[in-house]
Structure 1
Amino acid sequence: MTGYADNKEQVLARLKRVEGQVRGIARMVEQDTYCIDVLTQVSAATKALQAVALGLLDDHLGHCVRDAVTSSADDDGAAAEAKIAEASAAIARLVRS
């Protein structure tokens, strides 16, 4: 079960809004909209995607990592360590982007 299972519809709705934003940006380019206006919309779409990513990360930490830590007694903490490393790598990717 995924960490975002409880808010899957909300995540999908946010992604559909971002998709609409990106289509709008494409239309702006097709219509030769002023560069700064296009960049402003690209920035807004980027921030919207980052918000989705942060929500997914929060769900991952609150569900997947928590469950691995809770059950870590069964495997000497290997699953918990793996999930924490995975989350750390995801955070690093988000910070770099």
Structure 2
Amino acid sequence: MSHTIKHKTKLLARVRRLKGQIEAVERALETEAPCGEILNLTASIRGAVSGLTAELIEDHIREHISNPDRDEDGARAEAAAELIAIIRTYLK
């Protein structure tokens, strides 16, 4: 079973929150909200997309490459854990 199917409910909830954030930007533009408010809304969308991306990449590594919590090859487990940490930092 793919990790996206396994975590479908959680991932869909994140996507729905993103959808709501995008709709908030649309409403702000329609009501001619101040540009600072719109910039804050778009910054929150960027953070949410980065968080979703990081989660998907981490799950992909754990499912298809190496799960550092279960891999018996110590070097591979360590490398996978390091890659996950790098992804989390990069997409923060």
TM-score of the aligned structures, taking structure 1 as reference length: 0.66
> In the alignment, which residue of structure 2 is the partner of 1:21?
21
| Identical aligned residues as a percent | 24
Distance 1:65 1:27 in 2: 42
The answer for unaligned runs of 5 or more in structure 2 is 72-86
Partner of 1:63: 63
Paired position in structure 1 for 2:36:
36
Deviation at 1:4, TM superposition (A): 2.5
Q: Which has the higher helix share?
A: 1
1:5, distance to aligned residue in structure 2 (A): 2.3
List structure 1 runs of 4+ shifted beyond 6 angstroms.
none
Query: Alpha carbon RMSD of aligned pairs, Å?
Result: 2.3
How far off is 1:65 after superposition? Answer: 1.6
**Structure with higher RCO (Cα < 8 A, 6+ apart):** 1
Give, in whole Å, the separation in 2 of the partners of 1:39 and 1:2.
36
Q: 3-state DSSP class of the match of 1:4?
A: helix
For residues 63 and 36 of structure 2, what CA distance do their matches in structure 1 show? 40
Unaligned runs of 5+ in 1: 71-90
- Matched pairs, number: 73
Q: Distance in 2 between matches of 1:65 and 1:19?
A: 31
TM-score calculated relative to the size of structure 2? 0.69
Deviations 1:3-33 (A, max 9, x none): 2222111001000000010011001000000
